[in-house]
Amino acid sequence: MNTPRIEKSQVSLMLDAKFIRVYDLKYAEGRHYYDATRRNIDSLVAVKDDEAFRNMVPDAVSCFVIVITGNEPPRLLLNWEYRYPAGQFLLSVPAGLIDPEDIQSPCPALTAAAREIQEETGLQVREGDSLKLVNPMVFSTPGMTDESNALVCAVLHPEDLHGLNQTGAVGSEMFDGFKLVTEEEARKLIRDGRDEHGVFLPLYTWAGLMWFTSGMWKD
């Protein structure tokens, strides 16, 4: 595949705010595309060569957390997290940014996933649990942003769920409880495309539901 390259000389910064930047990608004379991103120009995905692109670290991690407790059937652990652009609490998977110190670990996505699961649910990945990479990197919506997420599956075996809490919320994070979803309930959410409050689902939640119902997490 002959991939057209965008050089740094074709990129100009239009907005530089604390949590977001917008770049103008001038891909041809008089032709412009815009990229909303957290990245600085040196790490911008659009200007990476093929080798750097294939070896890049994602921005964040989204976690498919499956809990198996006592005689209960396996359940997917979701939470309601307030998403400011949507103005709603959306049924979400635990997720968070990959921090600079995570990049020093053998697998940054798994290191970040273990931390985010503990922060957002109170549960720890312990001996006998599993934590594995589902996908090293998927783009959120590459027509608008270069943001990317690794997908990680955690299968946890807590003695009980009394330790579930959301006190680890930081910054702008705002939560409103958990939802433990059986496979049958997950299939209903997939079919309905909404939670019980009639609110639409984030794509990463849909992916987690699909992964759970596929049974591939058992492999």
Q: State pLDDT tens for residues 132-144.
A: 999 999 999 999 9
User: pTM here?
Assistant: 0.95
Instruction: Specify the pairing of strand 130-139 against strand 88-92.
Output: unpaired
**Helical packing angle, 183-192 and 203-214, nearest 10°:** 140
Q: How far apart are CA 138 and CA 150, in angstroms?
A: 6
- pLDDT of the residue at 170: 85
Domains, the chain, ranges and CATH?
8-54 (no CATH), 60-218 (3.90.79.10)
- pLDDT of the residue at 5: 82
- Residue showing tokens 């990959």: 98
* Residue 81 · residue 173 · CB < 8 Å: yes
Helix, strand, coil % over all residues of the chain, rounded to 5: 25, 35, 40
Nearest alpha-carbon partner for 17 in 32, 36, 43 = 36
Q: How far apart are CA 44 and CA 24, in angstroms?
A: 12
- pLDDT of the residue at 1: 63
Residues of the chain with pLDDT under 50: none
